[in-house]
């Protein structure tokens, strides 16, 4: 709605970002309401069973959440992304959602859509979310149920309810072994349903709880670097986006860098994640014990102002890390970060072979010939 006092501006175009550029200031947070899910996806890094009593007991109640949300708003947060597990499993989802909205936050909801009811639609129509982001694991019953071990019918019913009622949705997909053949059809389906937005992610992450059996299942679902490049090259939109990134992000030389900080990303600079159990994390994936802050016994202001800088100031003495990732010329093409390195290797400052291979193949495939010069791969 535009009038004398208000105007519509998309989040990326909001003028404040420029002013905040390179400054540490809280803009948004992820609120992980639960680690439980009614699906059981083969590639999932978080899900616990729907009725897991231990997990239920650890979940923060609305009363626990209120002071943390209040503090986040005082610290400057503008936007909250509700996530899980499956957040709609929470019986108090409605109260939590409304509390966030009443605090003036933009609210996004990440859901698998299988639990969407008319009641959610009424809520979203009356108090619109910024968006509802739904992952499409398959568009046939066979593929969807094979990936999620859940219900395709419930997914389609929920998705159709959202679409028919004009709730702003965004669709995304994971490219995994169990749905790889169907991926082109999944992409067409998603692009047709949400004209402005679709993305897919072919790099699977390991479990936050480091469950070995489940991690092996995730590794078995990973596509080879060659398969990933083939999928990316066959998807015109993705190819175009990657070529643009490659243009900017493949440097002909290693980065000349004397610093040995482990954190090269912006974790904890503009956002944080609140775990379902009350643990503050710099980003959703940074789960190692010595890098999380217990808000059950502390407070968000302390976590944000004191704890985050102490973690971000960690330095590395690993020669391998300093010689490879810290100066890597294709760093921006890689999914390496301290959190994922830790989940993969147990150390925050170690290269990850699989990420390295994918990034190297991307660089070779998308840019090497255009650069017309030899790029220095790690
Ligand atoms: S729907 Fe999402 S949270 Fe649930 S099991 Fe699948 S990937 Fe995990
Ligand atoms: S894992 Fe490999 S490609 Fe990724 S940042 Fe490290 S050296 Fe570069």
Q: Which residues, in sequence order, are bridge partners of residue 198?
A: 171
Task: Write out the chain's pLDDT in tens, 378 residues.
Answer: 566 677 777 666 666 666 666 679 999 999 999 999 999 999 999 999 999 999 999 999 999 999 999 999 999 999 999 999 999 999 999 999 999 999 999 999 999 999 999 999 999 999 999 999 999 999 999 999 999 999 999 999 999 999 999 999 999 999 999 999 999 999 999 999 987 778 889 999 999 999 999 999 999 999 999 999 999 888 888 888 877 777 777 776 777 767 899 998 899 999 999 999 999 999 999 999 999 999 999 999 999 999 999 999 999 999 999 999 998 988 888 889 999 999 999 999 999 999 999 999 988 887 655 555 555 556
Residue 79 lies in a domain: yes
Regarding whether 198 and 70 lie in a shared domain, the answer is: yes
Residue 278 lies in a domain: no
Tell me, what's the pLDDT at 15? 65
Q: Which atom of ligand 2 is nearest to the CA of 352?
A: 1
> Which residue is closest in CA terms to ligand 1's atom 7?
44
What are the φ/ψ torsions at residue 41 (nearest 5 degrees)? -65, 140
Residue 187 lies in a domain: yes
Which residues lie with the beta carbon below 6 Å from any ligand 2 atom? 324-325, 328, 330-331, 334, 336, 351-352, 355-356, 359, 378
Residue 159 lies in a domain: yes
For residues 123 and 169, the answer to whether their CB atoms sit within 8 Å is: no
CATH number where 82 lies: 3.20.20.70
Burial class from Cβ neighbours inside 10 Å (0-12, 13-18, 19+) for residue 273 reads buried
Regarding whether 257 and 148 lie in a shared domain, the answer is: no
Range of the domain at 149: 22-223
Regarding whether 180 and 49 lie in a shared domain, the answer is: yes
For a mutational test of ligand 1's pocket, the pick from 30, 46, 110, i.e. the residue with the most ligand atoms closer than 8 A to its C-beta, is: 46
Looking at the 3D structure of the chain, how many domains does it have?
A: 2
Ligand whose nearest atom lies closest to the CA of 333: 2
Regarding whether 215 and 157 lie in a shared domain, the answer is: yes
> Which residue is closest in CA terms to ligand 1's atom 3?
85
The CA distance from 187 to 177, in Å, is 15
Residue with tokens 């070995």: 212
Regarding whether 148 and 93 lie in a shared domain, the answer is: yes
Which residues lie with the beta carbon below 6 Å from any ligand 1 atom? 37, 39-41, 44, 46-47, 84-86, 112, 148
The CA distance from 362 to 250, in Å, is 10
Regarding whether 258 and 201 lie in a shared domain, the answer is: no
For residues 84 and 32, the answer to whether their CB atoms sit within 8 Å is: yes
The CA distance from 117 to 88, in Å, is 10
User: Is-above-0.85 flag for pTM?
Assistant: yes
Regarding whether 204 and 138 lie in a shared domain, the answer is: yes
Residue 285 lies in a domain: no
Regarding whether 140 and 54 lie in a shared domain, the answer is: yes
For a mutational test of ligand 1's pocket, the pick from 148, 204, 284, i.e. the residue with the most ligand atoms closer than 8 A to its C-beta, is: 148
Q: Is the C-alpha dihedral spanning 246, 249, 255, 260 positive or negative?
A: negative
Regarding whether 121 and 217 lie in a shared domain, the answer is: yes
Regarding whether 143 and 93 lie in a shared domain, the answer is: yes
CA 227 / ligand 1 centre spacing (Å): 23
CA 203 / ligand 2 centre spacing (Å): 14
- For residue 335, give both structure tokens: 């999914």
Residue 307 lies in a domain: no
Residue with tokens 């980065």: 255
CA 354 / ligand 2 centre spacing (Å): 9
Regarding whether 130 and 51 lie in a shared domain, the answer is: yes
Ligand whose nearest atom lies closest to the CA of 329: 2
Residue 152 lies in a domain: yes
The CA distance from 194 to 295, in Å, is 38
């Amino acid at each position: 709605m535009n009038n004398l006092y208000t105007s519509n501006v998309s989040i990326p175009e909001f003028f404040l970002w420029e002013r905040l550029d390179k400054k540490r200031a809280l803009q948004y947070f992820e609120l992980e309401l639960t680690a439980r899910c009614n699906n059981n996806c083969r590639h999932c890094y978080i899900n616990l069973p729907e009725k897991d009593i231990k997990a239920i007991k650890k979940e923060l109640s609305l009363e626990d959440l209120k002071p943390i949300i209040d503090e986040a708003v005082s610290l400057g947060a503008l936007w909250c992304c509700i996530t899980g597990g499956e957040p709609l499993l929470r019986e108090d989802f409605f109260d939590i959602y409304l509390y966030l909205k009443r605090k003036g936050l933009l609210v996004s909801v990440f859901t698998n859509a299988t639990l969407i009811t008319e009641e959610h639609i009424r809520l979203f129509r009356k108090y619109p979310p910024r968006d509802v982001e739904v992952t499409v694991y398959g568009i046939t019953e066979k593929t969807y149920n094979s990936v999620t071990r859940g219900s395709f019918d419930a997914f389609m019913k929920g998705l159709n309810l959202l679409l028919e009622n004009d709730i702003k949705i965004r669709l995304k997909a994971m490219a995994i072994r169990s749905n790889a053949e169907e991926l082109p059809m999944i992409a067409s389906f998603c692009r047709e349903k949400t004209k402005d937005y679709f993305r897919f992610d072919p790099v699977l992450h390991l479990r936050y709880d480091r469950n070995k059996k489940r991690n092996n299942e995730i590794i078995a679902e990973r596509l080879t670097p060659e398969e990933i490049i083939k999928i990316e090259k066959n998807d015109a939109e993705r190819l175009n986006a990657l070529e643009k990134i490659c243009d900017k992000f493949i440097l002909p030389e290693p980065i000349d860098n004397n610093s040995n900080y482990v954190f090269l990303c912006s974790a904890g600079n503009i956002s944080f994640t609140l775990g379902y159990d009350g643990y503050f994390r710099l980003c959703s994936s940074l789960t190692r014990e010595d890098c999380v802050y217990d808000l059950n016994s502390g407070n968000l202001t302390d976590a944000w102002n004191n704890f985050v800088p102490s973690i971000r100031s960690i330095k590395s003495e690993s020669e391998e890390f300093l010689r490879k990732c810290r100066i890597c010329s294709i760093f921006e093409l890689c999914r390496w970060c301290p959190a994922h390195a830790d989940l993969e290797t147990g150390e925050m400052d170690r290269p990850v072979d699989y990420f390295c291979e994918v990034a190297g193949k991307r660089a070779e495939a998308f840019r090497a010939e255009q650069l017309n010069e030899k790029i220095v791969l790690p």
